Structure 1
């Protein structure tokens, strides 16, 4: 009985608590009117399963939309038939009455076929849209408009500074030149006075900010008291995670001095940055499923890893990491191969100790423990790797960090 109780406790600690604690935090942040429905939706999202609540509501709405669409199609078909009649002969010979009757029957059949084809086509397109993240349903009743980003005047020096700042963020560094230029042009200068509350914890996110000058404090309500958890200054960006994950603001941000900020609105962020992030998630999801160290992650956590990854290319013989260097990046081989070499003494030449192929990873221990690199890793032919740096890892991962730490501990036990 004692052994059974211990097994139950171990299961609760290792399996249930990580899920339930995160779920409770989300419920407390969101304060949903129907917590049961909210939790069902969140659990489905984390498991990568269809949301039955949103699905039921969406299907009901889609059915109503389809009825409207069918009515429109019928009306258009009648107008076409009337147009054809008025453009042809206005009298019908008596001997053609039976033919006309047959044609009317054929028209009715054709109309039914059009309705059925329209319904099937619409359902197929809606099902495809439902698979994408936060995709909006578009059709005759809801035309998708081409997004045109706003443009605010800036000097070339200001544009250069903004580019340098944004390129350091995991969200913006993977944008192509054109998209990044659009984002920079859409950023609006905002000057604020000291003691201005720019963001309030729990509010919806409508924009993100880049600090040009000044200083702001990030405060969280802890045990009933506002406590400063971070200070941001020139070159820092904040507010982007609430936009990316459609989450409430995680902290209140208050200026402690006069500040010159750059503001990027939700519309531009969604149209360019979030769209690019969604495509990256889809591209990397299957690949990340094949990486052994990440096999304990759900779809939501893999998505967060995909958001933070950047890609680097190395030519044959190039050093990806060097033995003894500080370790602050975790690597996954995307394409090609690499070899690990290690020197076991100051005067000893490095020898090959490991080969890496697609899906293999290295650098996770240095990322978690901060220890120097234990070996060299050298590209064998052209090698493409996905990289996760320490700053993004610490900021984004949360439970993902726990998973990697656990895997690293298992690896160290196996190696000892």
Structure 2
């Protein structure tokens, strides 16, 4: 079920969003990401003006069929899970301060700047294009096939090294230990020499790559230019090639090894069955849990889904200290399962229990709101599962709740 289904608005308005707003916004944001203008606001205004003027002209039968085809694709996209961080996240961004803009730019660094040229292709391109993978939906009419992931034998040391690299990428953040093991086994290690092209702009792509060692440069040739433009450098832990798997569009950029590199290659089927499914299951579980957190009662389903995507699981053992009084803080925590207690050091060095926490409670907001050191230490009373939100995500996603959070900070007084 899409997040739109959970919104408490009339069906007519939902249909309007699906039929009218989604296609327009997705195409506009995709085009904006492709062009990467210095002034995105001016770019979007110009885009909408051109869209409006173009809409008033007579359309040919071919154009009508293309429009209908695009509409059908968008209807399919409605059924997919909202694993569209680069497009959906941008479309849902609201105006904020400069930090919010920087947050967005930092988030984009979790992905390679390999952007779809456009979802609005020419007639010839449409004839050759395959269906969008991220639009795949399964049901009675499209039964999901049983999948056996490939296994490439590896030494334990190599497996641990690969897992460490993958854990640095946001794309694999939703994987649990079992899924991690499957993905690590399915990854094939490749070595490339300096100056060797790994992917070429315009080619079809069936693999994504993770940089295990070395550096690679991303190049793109823009329309009207004779020379390619170097967009960025991919370093250890960076992922590239994932958008071709998500949207099944041709490679929108070329990637060339700057130095001798070791890459980890993951095939499309494993990505779809393990990585994407894990992200969908994670979102469903976290969204369900977040509904029970009183602090988030005022947020709508879409806002909670954004938080669910940003949360990172943390497991701590009974007796372990999670945060320490007096230390700087850059993480906000919500307790998913388990019990914790807050300890404050009084005169004489004695620690006193000032508060107890259970599932659905949160802590760590004071240091983030006021920029002050931790006001208390938090210790796990039992084995505990936490959901962590870093400083940038906290400010970007929980900004509307700042007043409530400031009032709640009084619980630390005295």
TM-score tier (shorter): 0.5 to 0.7
Of 301-310 and 262-271, the range deviating more from structure 2: 301-310
* Partner residue in 1 for 2:315: 312
* Partner residue in 2 for 1:296: 299
Which of 17, 26, 29 matches 1:25? 29
Q: Counterparts of 2:363 and 2:202 in 1: how far apart (Å)? A: 38
Matches within 5 A, 1:16-415: 24-26=28-30, 28-29=32-33, 34=67, 37=71, 134-138=136-140, 144-169=144-169, 172=172, 175=175, 178-196=178-196, 198=198, 206-218=206-218, 226=229, 228-229=231-232, 231-234=233-236, 236-239=237-240, 242=243, 246=247, 253-294=255-296, 295-296=298-299, 298-299=301-302, 302=305, 305-306=308-309, 308-315=311-318, 317-343=319-345, 347=348, 349-364=350-365, 366=367, 372-388=373-389, 390=390, 401-408=395-402, 411-412=405-406
Q: 3-state SS of the aligned residue for 2:212?
A: strand
Deviations 1:21-56 (A, max 9, x none): 8884246458996599599869978999xxxxxxxx
Q: 3-state SS of the aligned residue for 1:267?
A: helix
Change (3 A) 1:158 1:405: same
Q: Counterparts of 2:185 and 2:74 in 1: how far apart (Å)? A: 41
CA contact (8 A) 2:217 2:230 kept: no
Q: Give the number of the structure whose alpha-carbon radius of gyration is greater.
A: 1
Q: Which has the higher helix share?
A: 1
1:264 Cα shift?
A: 0.6
Q: Counterparts of 2:404 and 2:135 in 1: how far apart (Å)? A: 34
Q: 3-state SS of the aligned residue for 1:146?
A: coil
* Partner residue in 1 for 2:112: none
1:269 Cα shift?
A: 1.4
CA contact (8 A) 1:343 1:351 kept: yes
Deviations 1:259-317 (A, max 9, x none): 221111121111122222222222221111233454535437626624642141442x4
Change (3 A) 1:405 1:206: farther
CA contact (8 A) 1:296 1:403 kept: no
CA contact (8 A) 2:328 2:374 kept: yes
Change (3 A) 1:39 1:246: closer
- Between the two proteins, the alignment pairs up a number of residues equal to 302
CA contact (8 A) 1:197 1:252 kept: yes
CA contact (8 A) 1:285 1:306 kept: no
Q: Counterparts of 1:247 and 1:136 in 2: how far apart (Å)? A: 17
Q: Counterparts of 1:412 and 1:382 in 2: how far apart (Å)? A: 29
CA-atom RMSD, angstroms?
4.8
CA contact (8 A) 2:338 2:359 kept: yes
Deviations 1:386-416 (A, max 9, x none): 234x3xx75xx5xx75232443466347759
1:148 Cα shift?
A: 2.1
CA contact (8 A) 1:281 1:307 kept: no
Q: Counterparts of 1:208 and 1:286 in 2: how far apart (Å)? A: 31
1:356 Cα shift?
A: 2.6
Q: 3-state SS of the aligned residue for 1:296?
A: coil
Change (3 A) 1:286 1:277: same
Q: Counterparts of 1:250 and 1:351 in 2: how far apart (Å)? A: 58
1:332 Cα shift?
A: 0.7
CA contact (8 A) 1:321 1:373 kept: yes
1:382 Cα shift?
A: 4.6
Change (3 A) 1:136 1:143: closer
Gaps of 5+ in 1: 1-18, 49-131
Please, what TM-score do these two structures have when normalized by structure 2?
0.56
Deviations 1:42-85 (A, max 9, x none): 9978999xxxxxxxxxxxxxxxxxxxxxxxxxxxxxxxxxxxxx
Please, what TM-score do these two structures have when normalized by structure 1?
0.55
Change (3 A) 1:335 1:220: farther
Of 286-295 and 240-249, the range deviating more from structure 2: 240-249
Q: Counterparts of 2:80 and 2:162 in 1: how far apart (Å)? A: 34
1:384 Cα shift?
A: 3.0
Q: Counterparts of 1:359 and 1:177 in 2: how far apart (Å)? A: 24
CA contact (8 A) 2:333 2:387 kept: yes
Change (3 A) 1:263 1:301: farther
